[in-house]
Structure 1
Amino acid sequence: MSIAAGVDVARQRLRQGATGVACGLALAFEVGVALLERAQGRVGAADRALSGGAFGIALPLLSYFLVSRVCAGGNLREAVMPLARHGLDRRQLALGLAVPPALVAAAFAALGSVLVVCVARGFADPELAKDALTSLWIGLIAGPAYVAAFLGASALGRAGRGRSWLLLADFVLGAGTSFVAFPWPKAHVRNLLGGSATLDLSQLVALIALLGMSFAFLGLGVLRSPR
């Protein structure tokens, strides 16, 4: 019951915010980057647009926005307080909060990545279908992974500043390939897209690391919430 209540609260908060506008702007940004990369040359344009504009910038920022909305701009514990006062389990409420933004992020990442591939490659490209399908499943995983990480980090700091710290660390530290890049989603998403591998990990290990680290952030954040 508490999880369902958390889902309902998250849905209401996403509807109240400019969620549709944010998704539209992020999608337009991705397409714009894809067009610019295609203008620079079709060879490698899709890869650059995906790792740069789509998964490198738009998805993390949109996921951050979605989590900020469901947390009402504050800390994770504060976000569930209105319902927790009525006796509902705070930890289950926190898990429920994750579901709607994770679904939105998954849909956005999947749709956006396929659109980027189509724009960057062109419909006549023989590699279009293969790249589109690959980008699709990566998007379906990367979106919820980012949401899980940001929601868990929202339990840290005043007003949920932990998610801002995670966003900064993801952009700066996740761009590398050493051990300091390992905890951050960007490093493993880049590997899945065929880019440089952190610690020379295989794509399978990168997938496991992406899910493991992201949901570890979520788990730690949920555990910080008293029952």
Structure 2
Amino acid sequence: MNESNPPVRVLIHGVTGRMGQALLRLAAERDDIVVVAAVSRSQPSQRVVDGVPHFAAAELPGVPPFDVAIDFSLPQGFDAILDLCAHRGAALVSGTTGLEDAQRHALDSAAGRIALLWAANFSLGVAVLSELVERAAAALPGWDCDIVESHHVHKKDAPSGTALALGASAEQGGAQPRYASLRAGDIVGEHLVQFAAPGERIELVHRATNRDIFARGALHAAARLAAKAPGQYRLRDLL
């Protein structure tokens, strides 16, 4: 990374979770990103780990300057990171699920001041799939549209957030999607969108085999979003 293009300064919020740990590990492999702070709910056992300063959520106001925050935490911690980003003029990439309506409205309001992206799925492949689904729905009026999603046995919500997001893309194209959910074994995530008419059908499929794809997608989004003007973005806007 040369001096004219300094690395994007990233804060990871929710670092003790599975996604937070993947973000920390994979960010270290990139030269266009530097993690300047890692934040967890509780007091960290070590202040600096592999050169990255660690902070408790209660210490959030005192973190060093950053360009973009990547948030994979809990709804209870979401308001604080959104407020901090808005206050500092930093971008926000968030995959925190279970947000309440008031928090959704806060996102809409903050988009007038900062660049932000909230997504249920950070797979770049799913981002492309959502665009293909919208285009297919628009091109095939009157066709049946069915979305089948498969996940591991421990996943509780059904349909998945990704299936619902794909359904929203289908609706944008004019389709009326129906949903089916399967829970089996250790499936990371599979989504099939089928368009069918008498005598023919089209299947659009995405299969995830490694959870690192979601962390890589979030890092990709953070690197692109840091330079964007205020507004709400979709992952597919940053491809």
The bucket for the TM-score relative to the shorter chain is: under 0.3
TM-score if structure 1 supplies the norm length?
A: 0.27
TM-score if structure 2 supplies the norm length?
A: 0.26
Q: Larger Cα Rg: Structure 1 or Structure 2?
A: 2
Q: Report which of the two has the higher share of helix.
A: 1
